[in-house]
Amino acid sequence: MKSRQDEERRHDIVLWGATGFTGSLVAEYLLKRTDTEEVRLALGGRSRVKLEALRRRLADIDAAAARLPLIVADSHDRASLDDMARDTRVVCSTVGPYAMHGRELVAACVEAEADYCDLTGEVQFIRAMIDKHHAAAERSGARIVHSCGFDSIPSDLGTWMLQQAAVERHGAPLDRVTFVLGASRGGFSGGTVASLVNVVVEAGADPEIRRVLTDPYALNPEGERHGPDGPDLAGARFDRDLGCWTGPFFMASINTRVVRRSNAILGWPYGRDFRYAEVTGFGAGLKGRLTATAIAGGLGAFVGALSWSPTRSALQKLALPDPGDGPDRAAREAGFFKIRLHGRGTSSDGQPFEMVAHVAGNNDPGYGETAKMLGESALCLALDGAELEPQGGILTPASCMGVRLVDRLRTAGMRFEVP
């Protein structure tokens, strides 16, 4: 359990990687949402010059930003990370690829008993952090919460909220939930592309990483890495329950693992035989079938092109954004997403039932809405921390923040609803 008093630490939240594309959006969000007299916010990065430029830009939006402390450290200089973590209650990190730049920071936070949240969608990185630090984080009380962006908050909190409603209304959780991405519009940043490429490269070089990436239960606790779910949907399929054609959802490979970890570390509130899948939904007719087939083929071709070094280099040079770049303000504001979670179960008196939940956001999912989701996660850890269960470990958004984060995101304008 934590031994150092919060007041001894100078910063409530350090935004680490504030100068990056997503980091600067989270900085703007936190500044808009908080009174910097109440929440002691600091900006962290590896370049003082860039941090000062960011602070000047933020001060044009809100004069209070001119007083934000700046912390210069480096992801590969452990002593600098230890200093930052010891002085901070919550480190909020947008420095990725996390498998390349995130390992030492998690270690520093666990040791310094600091809470931590990030945006990683890199399964192999999270698994390494679980193997290395979960037990120590449980002991120290450091709450390490990965995947607090579009992956995997809508999936993880959406399923958690739907299961809560199922138990309230029917006396039993749903046996099976399918996440269906409906209409959506959004872009990619260079950091996201770099992270995706790094996963593909690491998997190509290491069979153990390939094994972790293909294990549906890779993020479950040791001894609990089994269950009824198989591989994620890879092709086009007509789903009778949903009444439409479905194709793969490219973030299923991280989100499904996070949802299953939540179930495991919360003590199986969804049941040990719970089944969870993520798909993209299309129409019921020929157009739906053709689109699902085209999306499945396109995604397979994209991953194939990333796996082979000459096509990867060509794609990176010609078509994909560089680190630091991403969708501009107009594109972010034109973005949105709509997700439906469809569940089936059997009530406590033996009757079959179905339920649906909706999760939606009215900005680019990976950037506008992600800045909101990560910013609110950091605020939740900093401001609601004393009331959160459990107290420490490598956690998930639902297992750590549950209803408090759902309430915060609703207040921030996202839809989380079980009609």
Ligand X SMILES: NC(=O)c1ccc[n+]([C@@H]2O[C@H](COP(=O)([O-])OP(=O)(O)OC[C@H]3O[C@@H](n4cnc5c(N)ncnc54)[C@H](OP(=O)(O)O)[C@@H]3O)[C@@H](O)[C@H]2O)c1
Among 46, 146, 404, 408, binds ligand X (CB under 6 A): 46
- Interaction pattern, residues 298-337, with ligand X; x per rule: CB under 6 A: -------------------------xx-x-----------
- Looking at the Cβ atoms of 101 and 260, the one nearer to ligand X is 101
- Looking at the Cβ atoms of 29 and 274, the one nearer to ligand X is 29
Q: Answer yes or no: are the C-beta atoms of 396 and 155 closer than 8 Å.
A: no
DSSP annotation of 119: -
- Interaction pattern, residues 212-241, with ligand X; x per rule: CB under 6 A: ------------------------------
CA distance 376 to 370: 10
Q: Name the segment binding ligand X (CB under 6 A); options: 42-50, 138-146, 205-213, 222-230.
A: 42-50
Total chain residues near ligand X (CB under 6 A)? 34
- Between strands 237-239 and 174-185, the pairing is unpaired
Q: What distances in angstroms separate CA 305 from CA 82, 299, 357, one per listed residue?
A: 39, 10, 36
Q: Is 23 in the site for ligand X (CB under 6 A)?
A: yes
Tell me, rounded to whole angstroms, the distance of Cα 243 from its chain centroid.
29
Among 12, 39, 41, 121, binds ligand X (CB under 6 A): 121
| Tokens matching residue 386 | 């004393």
- Least distance (Å) from ligand X to the CB of residue 198? 9
- Looking at the Cβ atoms of 98 and 270, the one nearer to ligand X is 98
Q: Is 149 in the site for ligand X (CB under 6 A)?
A: yes
- Least distance (Å) from ligand X to the CB of residue 417? 21
Place of tokens 């830009």: 57
Instruction: Kindly identify the residues of this chain, within the stretch 90-119, that bind ligand X according to CB under 6 A.
Output: 94-98, 101, 119
CA distance 217 to 212: 9
- Least distance (Å) from ligand X to the CB of residue 236? 25
- Least distance (Å) from ligand X to the CB of residue 29? 13
CA distance 20 to 22: 6
Q: Is 47 in the site for ligand X (CB under 6 A)?
A: yes
Nearest to 378 by CA among 7, 9, 24, 116: 116
CA distance 146 to 262: 12
| Tokens matching residue 179 | 């996440």
Q: Is 248 in the site for ligand X (CB under 6 A)?
A: no
In order, the DSSP letters of 147-178 are --BTTBHHHHHHHHHHHHHHHHHHSS-EEEEE
Nearest to 303 by CA among 212, 183, 193: 193
Q: Is 19 in the site for ligand X (CB under 6 A)?
A: yes
Q: Name the segment binding ligand X (CB under 6 A); options: 5-13, 45-53, 125-133, 165-173.
A: 45-53
Q: Determine how many CB atoms are found less than 10 A away from the CB of residue 215.
A: 16
- Looking at the Cβ atoms of 343 and 365, the one nearer to ligand X is 365
Q: Is 190 in the site for ligand X (CB under 6 A)?
A: yes
Counting Cα atoms < 13 Å in the Cβ hemisphere of 375 gives 25
Q: Which residues of the chain form contacts with ligand X (CB under 6 A)?
A: 17, 19-23, 45-47, 50, 74-76, 94-98, 101, 119, 121, 149-151, 189-192, 195, 323-324, 326, 366, 370
